[in-house]
Amino acid sequence: MDELIDAKIVLEDGTVFKGYSFGANGYGVGEVVFNTSMSGYQEILTDPSYKGQIVTMTYPHIGNCGVNFEDNESIKPFVNGLVVKECSRIKSNWRSKKGLSEYLKENNIIGIEGIDTRALTRHIRLQGEMRAVISTEDLDDKQLIIKAKNSLSLIGRDLVREVTLEKFFYFNEKGAYNIVVIDCGVKTNILRKLKALNCRVSVVPANTDYQKILKLNPDGILISNGPGDPSAVTYVVATAQKILGKLPIFGICFGHQILAQALGGKTYKLKFGHHGGNHPVKDLRNGKVYITSQNHGFCVDIESLNKTDIELTHINLNDNTLEGIRHKKMPIFSVQFHPESKPGPNDAEYLFEEFIEMIKSNKRRQTIKDEE
């Protein structure tokens, strides 16, 4: 077993939790959030949407399945730190290749265990998400509080530039439907779902000019999930505005916030965000309730949307925040949650099929128009 090294997590409001480190030593700073998923820690670690954040797992025992080579949602972990009640040094899964602590150490990410994660989660729920620092260095609490306060806030911060790919690539080069994915921090399972639906999948950097996107002759556009403040990523909003009405568009999570802004809406910071695989969402069109996977700290302001043109399709049953929209005239829809799951339930996978049906319908209309 690894030697226990003292560590602490200090929040910008002065709250201190003492424990032991696992993974890398040193320190990590970021906005501390909590995730209510009971499994899927590897997918959470490698979700680019967590860039800039320290993730607290509310489930007490993390790491017992180890880490494998198949479940990553991107090329590397993006979290700034990991907080757990207990990190398992014993891994038991036939696909496991290494332990969680070893994996974090390889990627220079600090973790802390042995703290009361229930108390930390309750504090975040009451006081809101805030900046924090995890440290094994010999610094006193006052110095760590200053370090937390001096770290960058997520409000007004463009983190998409730090996670988007550098150049275009094909995820799948053959398929009946040509889909261009605007990569704001896309999870690999979104791309897998499109491939499974017989889509040719092209992935482009977030700052790609809309004319270059249209030259790829897409049948539809998907704007992906991503980290940070959506109001700071004005260049993607501008791209979306120029594509409106030309092609079917599907937005997921961050992409939902981008589309809402492109349609004239505004976004705001939630008190403690939605992170986990057990969030109930109601489809207002049929009354069904789906259990969804979510990861976002910002939300679309319902009152800022033009209800004449935009239909509200989904609502969060925990706090009544907006979870989905659809344009009444143009082939555009988006959801705040993650229909591709990973981790989490697959209740909302049907939305990928709705996207394909929207593309088919749009192609039929174009054929009729061309014949006329």
Catalytic residue numbers read 253, 338, 340
- Supply φ then ψ for residue 312, to 5 degrees: -85, 120
Rounded Cα gap, residues 177 and 180, in angstroms: 10
Residue 153 has what DSSP assignment? P
Beta strands in the chain (DSSP E): 5-11, 16-23, 27-35, 53-57, 61-62, 81-83, 86-87, 110-113, 130-135, 169-172, 177-183, 199-205, 220-223, 249-252, 267-283, 289-300, 310-316, 322-327, 332-335
Q: Which two tokens stand for residue 153?
A: 């806030």
For residue 173, give the 3-state DSSP assignment.
coil
Residue 52 φ/ψ region, left for φ over 0, alpha for ψ in the -120 to 50 degree band, beta for the rest: left
| Contact (CB, 8 A) for 93 and 68 | yes
Give residues with Cβ within 8 angstroms of 246, minimum separation 6. 214
Cα end-to-end distance, the chain, whole Å: 74
Distance of CA 334 to the CA centre of its chain: 14
